[in-house]
Amino acid sequence: MILRPVLDDIRTIGYFLGKIIIGLGLTMLLPIALGLAFKETNPVSDFLIGIEITLLFGFILVKLCSTDNDLNWMQGMIVVSLSWLAAMVLGAIPLYLSGHWRSFLDACFDAMSGFATTGLTLAQDLDHLSRTHNLWRHLIMFIGGQGIVVVAISLFVKGFSGAFRMYVGEARDERVLPNVVHTARFIWLVSLVYLILGTLALGLTGILNGMRPVNAFFHGACIFMAAFDTGGFAPQSQNILYYHSLPFEIITIAIMILGAINFKLHYHLWNGNRREIIKNIETLTLFATIAATFFITALGLERTGTYPRVIVLFRKGFYQVVSGHTGTGFMTIYARQFINEWGNLALVGIISAMALGGGTCSTTGGIKMLRIGVIFKALKQDLKRIILPERAIVAEKYHHIKEVFLEDKQVRSALLITLAYLVLYFAGALIGMFFGYPFLESLFESTSAAANVGLSCGITDTHMPATLKITYIIQMWAGRLEFMSVFTLFGFIIAAIKGK
């Protein structure tokens, strides 16, 4: 028997949702401050309208649903899934008001793409978008990469058990520190330290390439936020190709990989446990899978003869593979080159890289390295069972901060999430095919959306069918939250309709 949710459930959900929305509204102060500094009056007014609606909505929810109750697991999960949808709608308001998006759905698509750190965009005339709006596009990636709930936890929420439930609902199943508030603050510490280093490195490179200092550091900060949070937006429509700079590409490769590293691993490395990076199952798997997917891509590119010079093949191929694998979506080629010049084999290499993703408890999407490593270890264990005598005890272990013995429940969990991702990738591809796009192109774009990557082979365009836009929005949302809180929301809706 399904129990119908009671009013108390809805009040508790509404109260915490309201708090998160207020937190989101306050982050709009940053683009407003930048807009005032650059005297961008019209963009500032877009944000004043956006912040007003967001804060009003948040305060009304908090006031109407005021409660002392703590969140239970179900409520925590629902708060998370709803807060991402609310962030999409409210975060899209200033974007839509800029006039650079053809419809509110397009602005919602970009807002979800930003929050989910995907990087697919439907913006029109991006090269003339104001700095204020550009900062917002990149800031929502920064917020989404850390996690909307992580932002709220670090700012407003005291260390209660409900905070942990929301934290888990946001696809972060590992706590860096025993206290979830301290974990959230450590995530911010790592991000802010790298924000300073990364912006400096990219800004100075920009200046050396002839950009004006203010512009160079603005681009540096934006590109850093998109790279470390494995997002993929860029201030210019040509993405990273705009800069035509090898140092810029090398720095962004480093930042993308840093963003794909588990925050728990950052913590251990920063506290002196430096050998962890060469022992950890995630970094070992990332090393192997980047090499393997690059091998497939390079083989494909070599067959098609797209890049006769090896050095160019390496520069273009490796960049796209790292960008896809870390779930960033930066591009140093034009979207249609994937289809017209790269050939099917290279495309399969990139799709595989995108599907795999980076570290758990990082800012990436996709299946993730820990799960791939666990599945590989399980396969190895089963092979050993076949080869060794029946009486032999076969125990497999892996290193993830500490030595862990492989258990069936870990393998089951890894396989279930992997299966869910594969279904999501192929479901999106089927819908793409329904609208007439070829299989490989549909699978490419669908995987890119669901694994929160942002590489595009050209399907993502303002003229694509609205149903496909909504499909990609759902894929980005479900893929970023790793299904559980999304499934809980659907369960809640069913319980509200059919429950007793």
Partner 1 sequence: MNIKSLLNPVAGIATEIVYALLIILAGALIALAITYL
Query: What is the C-alpha separation between 109 and 88, in angstroms, rounded?
Result: 8
Nearer to partner 1, 322 or 355 (CB): 322
Looking at the Cβ atoms of 165 and 325, the one nearer to partner 1 is 325
Residues 20, 149: Cα–Cα separation, whole Å: 7
Residue 288 sits in the site that holds partner 1 (CB under 8 A) = yes
Residue whose CB is less far from partner 1, 276 or 445: 276
Residue 356 near partner 1 by CB under 8 A: no
Query: What's the min distance (Å) between Cβ of 453 and partner 1?
Result: 17
89, 269, 394, 404: which one contacts partner 1 (CB under 8 A)? 269
Interaction of residue 270 with partner 1, rule CB under 8 A = yes
**Shortest Å, Cβ 306 to partner 1:** 13
CB of 288 to partner 1, least distance (A): 7
**Of 262, 253, 191, nearest in space to 221 by CA:** 191
Taken in order 468, 342, 326, 282, the sign of the CA dihedral is positive
Q: Which is nearer to partner 1, 136 or 194 (CB)?
A: 194
- C-beta closer to partner 1: residue 303 or 498: 303
User: Is 283 one of the binding residues for partner 1 (CB under 8 A)?
Assistant: yes
Kindly tell me which residue out of 180, 298, 370, 481 binds partner 1, with binding defined by CB under 8 A: 298
**Tokens (6 digits) for 129:** 């978008």
| Per-residue binding letters, 148-187, with partner 1 (x by CB under 8 A) | ----------------------------------------
The reply to whether 197 sits near partner 1 by the rule CB under 8 A is yes
Question: Counting beta carbons within 10 angstroms of the beta carbon of residue 394, is it exposed (0 to 12), middle (13 to 18) or buried (19 or more)?
Answer: middle
* C-alpha separations of 112 from 84, 367, 427, 469, 483 in Å: 8, 19, 19, 11, 16
Q: Does 457 bind partner 1 (CB under 8 A)?
A: no
Question: Does position 261 bind partner 1 by CB under 8 A?
Answer: yes
Using CB under 8 A, which of 160, 295, 435, 490 touches partner 1? 295
Site string for partner 1, 301-340 (x = CB under 8 A): -x-------x--xx---x--xx------------------
Using rule CB under 8 A, residue 257 touches partner 1: yes
CB neighbours of residue 69 within 10 Å: 14
Q: Which amino acid is at 25?
A: G
Does 250 interact with partner 1 (rule: CB under 8 A)?
yes
Q: Smallest gap, in angstroms, from Cβ of residue 155 to partner 1?
A: 23
284 Cβ contact list (under 8 Å, min separation 6) = 278, 373
Pick between residue 205 and residue 283 the one whose CB is nearest to partner 1: 283
Q: How far is the CB of 443 from partner 1 (least distance, A)?
A: 23
Tokens (6 digits) for 189:
């510490």
Using alpha carbons only, give the angle 191, 195, 201 rounded to the nearest 5 degrees. Answer: 140
Which listed range, 139-147, 298-306, 338-346, 463-471, lies at the site for partner 1 (CB under 8 A)?
Answer: 298-306
Which residues of the shown chain bind partner 1 in the complex (CB under 8 A)?
193, 197, 250, 253-255, 257-258, 261, 266, 269-272, 274, 277-278, 283, 286-288, 290-292, 294-295, 298-299, 302, 310, 313-314, 318, 321-322
